[in-house]
């Protein structure tokens, strides 16, 4: 039997356009018979290498104003609830580490979707430990145990190496999609093209 085509989904929890991508990707991949690999990483170190100490949407106000409006239109068209979160970008390192724990178990993808929903649909701060605890509890997990695992040296090292791997793929923003033959696609608006490429090659 031929293995199914695969696609890597590279995302950062603070990334605005990763929200619609994260909510759409599982259904679209399933419909095409594509196996997904969810790969959280951190944009901060990549941005730092570009000389940015915050999101370019904050550094370039016209671009930021446009992004929030564009994202509201996109979510509206997809019937996804959306609010501009109270602070941006949020601290995502603990959420990303927890995601890495969850993705080795069976609740990782649900956790990722919940983090985006809590931030961009409910307007909470995912840098706030209480928000992450609530998400874990809703998934039937013991928050204390999971957070302790997430803060282990092994998971910290894994997140660092995922971020280095992202840079090695040529990734500079999120969401990004990488096919088995190394083709890179960037942006929620390239999700369908990435899936089609993964299917064809």
Query: Site residues (CB under 8 A) for a second copy?
Result: 50, 60, 62-63, 65-66, 69-70, 73, 77, 167, 170-173, 184-187, 189-190, 193
Q: State the Cα–Cα distance between residues 1 and 136, nearest whole angstrom.
A: 37
Nearer to a second copy, 73 or 160 (CB): 73
- The H or E element spanning position 24 is helix 18-31
Beta pairing, strands 6-11 & 184-186: unpaired
63 CA to centre of own chain? 21
Q: How far is the CB of 173 from a second copy (least distance, A)?
A: 8
What's the CA gap between 154 and 19, in Å, rounded? 27
* Run of H or E including 133: helix 129-138
- Smallest distance from the beta carbon of 150 to a second copy, in angstroms? 29
Nearer to a second copy, 47 or 111 (CB): 47
What's the start-to-end Cα distance of the chain, in Å? 17
Q: Which is nearer to a second copy, 21 or 95 (CB)?
A: 21
Residue whose CB is less far from a second copy, 156 or 172: 172
Residue 88: CB minimum distance to a second copy, A: 18
Q: Are 139 and 107 in contact (CB under 8 A)?
A: yes
* Cβ at position 105, least distance to a second copy in Å: 33
Minimum distance, C-beta of residue 34 to a second copy, in the bound complex (Å): 18
CA distance 96 to 156: 10
Q: Measured from the CB atom, is 69 or 129 closer to a second copy?
A: 69
């Amino acid at each position: 039997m031929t293995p199914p085509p695969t696609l890597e989904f590279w995302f950062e929890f603070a990334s605005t356009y990763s929200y619609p991508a994260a909510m759409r990707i599982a259904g679209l991949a399933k419909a095409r018979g594509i196996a997904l690999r969810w790969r959280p990483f951190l944009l901060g170190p990549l941005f730092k290498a570009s000389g940015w100490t915050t999101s370019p949407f904050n550094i370039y106000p016209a671009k930021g104003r446009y992004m929030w409006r564009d994202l509201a239109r996109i979510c509206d068209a997809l019937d996804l609830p959306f609010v501009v979160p109270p602070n941006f970008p949020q601290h995502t390192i603990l959420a990303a580490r927890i995601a890495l724990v969850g993705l080795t178990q069976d609740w990782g993808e649900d956790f990722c979707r919940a983090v985006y929903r809590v931030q961009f649909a409910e307007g909470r701060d995912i840098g706030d430990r209480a928000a992450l605890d609530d998400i874990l509890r809703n998934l039937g997990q013991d928050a204390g145990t999971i957070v302790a695992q997430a803060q282990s040296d092994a998971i910290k090292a894994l997140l660092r190496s995922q971020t280095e791997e992202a840079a090695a793929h040529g990734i500079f923003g999120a969401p990004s999609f990488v096919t088995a033959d190394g083709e890179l696609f960037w942006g929620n608006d390239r999700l369908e093209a990435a899936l089609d490429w993964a299917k064809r090659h």
